[in-house]
């Protein structure tokens, strides 16, 4: 039986630890047409009030960001350039930090339905990016505010990559020192990682 990640797992870790440690875990969406899933291969951490790149920088509270102040495991969806992006809140209620899911490696049994959702896209183009993975999984703004622990979206333990790399986040220019934070984590060698910039790479080898 596959082990589902619990709230306790989230509560025991920092945002950075979670962004790193869910690499290789399985993201699952139970839909009316069956279960869609894939291994998480790319994430970014956002550190809330002190992070100029975060939507909640300086504890900004708006209709969109209000959910970021909820409990760990709450799902924060937002739209950018007509794409829907998936985030998980990571810290205790009132501390608006989150993980952005940037790419997944689809499970074999999910491929046919994902390709349908992606209008025939195949291979790495299926889920190697923010909006691509949410479209493939059938996620939408209707999932805003759900949690990973009592909804049709959850995370399961799976395989841990041998090497996880940390680089600068993508698409956060002109954010002062926050532009250079090495808070993007990837499973080295996965073909589903999104477009990479030339930057300093730090590696961690998992036993």
- Contact between residue 64 and residue 96 where contact means Cβ atoms under 8 Å apart: no
- Contact between residue 86 and residue 100 where contact means Cβ atoms under 8 Å apart: yes
Reported as a pLDDT band with limits 50, 70 and 90, residue 7 is very high
36 beta partners: 29
Q: Is residue 43 part of a domain?
A: yes
Q: How much is the average pLDDT of 155-164?
A: 89
Q: Is residue 207 part of a domain?
A: no
- Contact between residue 25 and residue 156 where contact means Cβ atoms under 8 Å apart: yes
b/e per residue 29-43 (b: at least 16 CB within 10 A) = beeeeeebbbbbbbb
What CATH number is given to the structural domain containing 117?
3.10.300.10
Q: Is residue 21 part of a domain?
A: yes
Q: Is residue 205 part of a domain?
A: no
Q: How much is the average pLDDT of 71-95?
A: 96
- Contact between residue 37 and residue 28 where contact means Cβ atoms under 8 Å apart: yes
Q: Is residue 120 part of a domain?
A: yes
For residues 93 and 149, what is the distance between their CA atoms, to the nearest angstrom? Answer: 15
- Contact between residue 200 and residue 57 where contact means Cβ atoms under 8 Å apart: no
Range of the domain at 126: 7-200
**Tokens coding 49:** 């009030």
Q: Is residue 90 part of a domain?
A: yes
Q: Is the pLDDT of residue 124 over 50?
A: yes
Q: Is residue 2 part of a domain?
A: no
Place of tokens 């952005």: 100
pLDDT (tens digit, 9 = 90+) per residue, 19-73?
A: 999 999 999 999 998 999 999 999 999 999 999 999 999 999 999 999 999 999 9
Reported as a pLDDT band with limits 50, 70 and 90, residue 1 is low
**Tokens coding 120:** 């025939």
Q: Is the pLDDT of residue 159 over 90?
A: no
Q: Is residue 14 part of a domain?
A: yes
pLDDT at 110: 97
Does the pTM surpass 0.85? The reply is: yes
Total domains, the chain: 1
Backbone angles phi, psi at 32, to 5 degrees: -65, -20
């Amino acid at each position: 039986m596959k082990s589902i990640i619990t709230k306790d797992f989230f509560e025991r870790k920092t945002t950075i630890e979670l962004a790193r440690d869910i690499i290789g875990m399985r993201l699952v969406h139970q839909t009316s047409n069956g279960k869609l899933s894939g291994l998480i291969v790319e994430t970014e951490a956002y550190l809330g009030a002190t992070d100029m790149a975060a939507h909640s920088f300086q504890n900004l509270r708006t209709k969109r960001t209000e959910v970021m102040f909820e409990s760990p495991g709450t799902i924060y969806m937002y739209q950018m350039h007509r794409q829907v992006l998936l985030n998980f809140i990571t810290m205790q209620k009132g501390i608006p930090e989150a993980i952005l899911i940037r790419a997944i490696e689809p499970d074999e049994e999910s491929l046919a339905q994902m390709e349908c959702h992606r209008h025939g896209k195949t291979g790495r183009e299926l889920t190697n990016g923010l909006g691509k993975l949410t479209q493939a999984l059938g996620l939408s703004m209707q999932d805003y505010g759900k949690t990973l622990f009592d909804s049709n979206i959850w995370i399961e333990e799976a395989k841990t990559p041998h090497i996880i790399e940390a680089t600068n986040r993508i698409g956060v220019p002109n954010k002062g020192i926050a532009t250079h934070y090495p808070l993007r984590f990837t499973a080295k060698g996965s073909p589903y990682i999104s477009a990479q910039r030339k930057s300093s790479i730090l590696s961690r080898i998992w036993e």
